[in-house]
A and B are shown apart, each in its own frame.
Chain A
């Protein structure tokens, strides 16, 4: 437990200090949202209609942004080998790194999403609910992306491959996330069912993601 916390804190510290990518995701998210009105026009009604979708798409892409460095940086400086030979199982170590990634990349997205939602003319009373869907859904994005990050390390190719591998697998998360957000804003469909399925997807990927990612890393280091 102590090494788990130590690894978690190390990754959080690395991310928030100089050279880390903690707020890059949030800035990228902001830029994506700002660019949308330029692309579709400043029609407030239209923006309100597609607002939750833009928030979710932006959040998904911003999550991917920092993922390719998750294991690659550790592999380059050799700390991945230390982590692997350390006292906690690789699955738990991977879980710690993923939690740190979620705290530094996804949590800022969730925090600023109400402000960005306001800019997209999402109804003010629903802003909290939309942020809640992102809070419940982004763990699934991180933990599915985790598998892609580990595979990309195994092949020593990052970035683009990661997006191609991971994005199709996150389609269910996007569908239920946007469905829950839309239900919170306009109805008439209830908020509960898509939101609970979103939580289920997150929980399932928290369990399965580290196992698959650890398997991929073991092969990468053989």
Chain B
């Protein structure tokens, strides 16, 4: 089935309804496997049990960034190909991406307290993730203020693409800014390569998180299509009342 066939919302809904239970089951199974692996992973010799936060932290960071990439592709779909479902996909991805980015910030903060002795430092990595979260909030604010779904979608698509151009610049500028203030050696990540006993469950958790993202995204797209249908029906109903 080509992407163009999915332009028909009814056909998309049929496919989504067929896929969703399987995706949900796969997500649960993968989480069971990944969490089991994470619980049995050996403690770090320095960090102790707190290293297990990583199994939540790292996948949510990846998916926070993946969310914006997905939105950028959807934005291209909206502006270039005018695919009817692209703006639904973009709109559905924004809150999920924001939630994963927020999860990344919270787990990182909780991890930072025992490890670095503080909940928050203006470290380059933390700051650029925080800015990503702010950009998500901007897109969400745009969707909240749009009265018509179509109009809001195109505005949000332009903002998403502008953000996609800007995110590497922000990342690079924040890295540069940080080195001015404090040496990068303090919070250097991945000095030594990660041991397979930890790496294996980490990948399992990353797959589980990705499945969760896909499931939530598909369900959110379905809800958005239904919400728009309800809106259209209400408008028709209101017109009928007005003319009667």
Contacts and interface: CB of A to CB of B under 8 A. Distances in A.
A189 interface: yes
Nearest to A176: B173
Contacts of A88: none
A154 B151 contact: yes
A208 B162 CA distance: 9
A171 B159 contact: no
B131 interface: yes
A172 B173 contact: yes
A157 B145 contact: yes
A219 B155 contact: yes
A131 B94 CA distance: 39
Contacts of A107: none
Q: Is the interface of A mostly helix, strand, loop or mixed?
A: helix
Interface in B136-187: 137-138, 141-142, 145-147, 151-152, 154-155, 158-159, 161-163, 165-166, 169-170, 172-174, 176-177, 180
B162 A169 contact: yes
Contact of A151 (B134, B158, B172, B180): B158
A127 B59 CA distance: 47
A147 B154 CA distance: 13
A165 B154 contact: no
Given A154-B151, A219-B154, A172 B146 contact: no
A175 B176 contact: yes
B126 interface: no
Contact of A216 (B145, B146, B155): B155
A179 interface: yes
19 contacts: A147-B159, A151-B159, A154-B154, A155-B147, A155-B151, A155-B155, A156-B147, A161-B141, A165-B141, A169-B162, A169-B170, A171-B170, A175-B174, A189-B180, A208-B165, A212-B162, A215-B158, A216-B154, A219-B155
Q: Which 4 A/B pairs are nearest by Cβ-Cβ distance?
A: A172-B173, A168-B134, A219-B154, A175-B177
Interface of A: 147, 151, 154-157, 161, 164-165, 167-169, 171-172, 175-176, 179, 189, 197, 201, 208, 212, 215-216, 219-220
Interface of B: 79, 131, 134-135, 137-138, 141-142, 145-147, 151-152, 154-155, 158-159, 161-163, 165-166, 169-170, 172-174, 176-177, 180
